[in-house]
Amino acid sequence: MTLQLPHPAVLATVAYLMVWGLVLITPVFAWALAALVVGPGPNSRWRRAALPVGKGVLFSLALVLATRLVEAASASMHDGPLGWLSALEQALTHGATAMTWFPVDAVLLLALPHAALFLLAVAVFAFQEANRKFGIPFRVPLADPLALVLVVVPVLALIAVDGAWRQARPRALLDVAAVLPMLCMALAVWTRAERLSPPPVKEEAPRPQVPAPVRADVPALWRKLGALDASARPLLATQGASNADAAPAWSAAAWRDAGALGAPPRALEEIASAWGSPQQGWLVGDLPDPTERHFLTSCVLLALQREGLPCLVISDEPEALRDAVLEAISRSGSWPSGPLLAGEAAMREAFAGNRMPAAVFLDVEQLSAGGIRALAETRGGCGRSWARSVGLVLLSRVDRGTPLASTHRMFTLRRLELALSAAGARWNVLATGVGGAGTRGLVEQMFPGISVREVPFAPRAAAPVRVWRVAEGFRAQPGTPWVRRALEPVVGAKLPAAVGDPGGAFDLKAVDFWGGELRFVRDVSLFGVASVGTLDEAWLVAAYRALPHRVPLADGQAHDALWGLADNPVTRFLTRDGNLDGLARHGMLMPPRALVGYHNGALATAHLKAAMQEGTQDVESLAAVFGRSRVEQVLGPKFRPERHVVRLAQGREPVRSPVVPAGVAEAVNPLRRTVSEQVVRILDVHSGQLLTEVDRLLVETRYYPGRVFAVGDARYEVPLHSLDTKRNELRVKPVPNDRPLTKPQLRIQFESAHVVESPQTVRTGRCVYQVCTLDATVVESVTGYSQVGRPGRVDVGAVSCRYRTRVRGVFFPAATTPNVLFHLARSADGVLVAHLLSNDEDMDVVPVGAGMFPEAPAGIVVVDRHLQGMGVAEALDLALVDDTFKWVRAILANCKCPNGCPECTPQDVLASGPDKSGVLGLLG
Give pLDDT tens digits for 448-488. 889 999 999 999 999 999 999 999 999 888 878 899 999 99
The average pLDDT across 907-912 equals 88
Percent of the chain with pLDDT over 70: 86
Higher pLDDT, 659 or 682: 682
Average pLDDT score over the chain: 85
- Residue 830 confidence class, pLDDT cut points 50, 70, 90: very high
Backbone φ and ψ for 771, nearest 5 degrees, come out as -125, 130
- Residue range 102-129, pLDDT digits in tens: 555 666 666 777 778 888 888 888 777 7
Euclidean distance between CA atoms 412 and 644, whole angstroms: 25
Q: How confident is the model at residue 209 (pLDDT cuts 50, 70, 90)?
A: very low
Residue 817 has pLDDT above 50, yes or no: yes
Write the single-letter amino acid at 26: T
172-186 average pLDDT score: 72
Extended strands (E) in 57-180: 138-139
**Distance (Å, rounded) from C-alpha 665 to C-alpha 672?**
17
Q: Is the pLDDT of residue 167 over 70?
A: no
Query: DSSP assignment of 823-846, as one string?
Result: HHHHHHHHHHTTTEE--TTTEEEE
Task: Kindly state the helix (H) or strand (E) to which residue 161 belongs, with its residue range.
Answer: none
- Residue 212 pLDDT more than 60? no
Which residues sit opposite 289 in a β-bridge?
525
For the ranges 284-298, 362-376, 675-689, 780-794, the lowest mean pLDDT is seen at 780-794
Element spanning 537, H or E: helix 537-546
| pLDDT of the residue at 507 | 75
Reply yes or no on whether the pLDDT at 535 is more than 90: yes
pLDDT value of residue 134: 61
| Span 38-58, pLDDT tens digits | 777 666 777 777 888 888 888
For helices 174-190 and 143-160, give the axis angle rounded to 10 degrees.
Answer: 160
Closest by Cα among 783, 830, 790, 822 to 910: 822
Residue 340's H or E segment, with its range, is strand 340-342
Least confident of 77-86, 245-254, 643-652: 77-86
For residue 268, what are the β-bridge partners?
none
The alpha carbon dihedral of 372, 374, 379, 382 has a sign of: negative
pLDDT of residue 658: 85
Higher pLDDT, 27 or 134: 27
CA distance 836 to 408: 18
- C-alpha distances in angstroms, 137 versus 31, 100, 196, 271? 20, 53, 5, 20
Express each pLDDT in 236-257 by its tens digit: 999 988 877 888 999 999 999 9
Dihedral of alpha carbons 160, 161, 162, 168, sign: positive
In 708-841 the beta strands, taken as DSSP E runs, fall at 708-711, 714-717, 723-724, 729-735, 742-764, 767-787, 794-811, 836-837
pLDDT computed for residue 27 by the predictor? 81
Residue 90 has pLDDT above 80, yes or no: no
Task: Output the pLDDT for position 368.
Answer: 94
Per-residue pLDDT band for 517 (boundaries 50, 70, 90) equals confident
Query: So what's the pLDDT on residue 202?
Result: 46
Out of 64-68, 736-740, 764-768, give the one with best mean pLDDT: 764-768
Q: Is the pLDDT assigned to residue 568 strictly greater than 70?
A: yes
Percent of the chain with pLDDT over 90: 52
Give the pLDDT confidence score for residue 133 in this predicted structure.
58
**pLDDT level of residue 5 (50, 70, 90 thresholds):** very low
Q: Is the pLDDT of residue 543 over 80?
A: yes
Check if the beta carbon of residue 675 is closer than 8 Å to that of residue 699.
no
Residue 173's pLDDT is 60
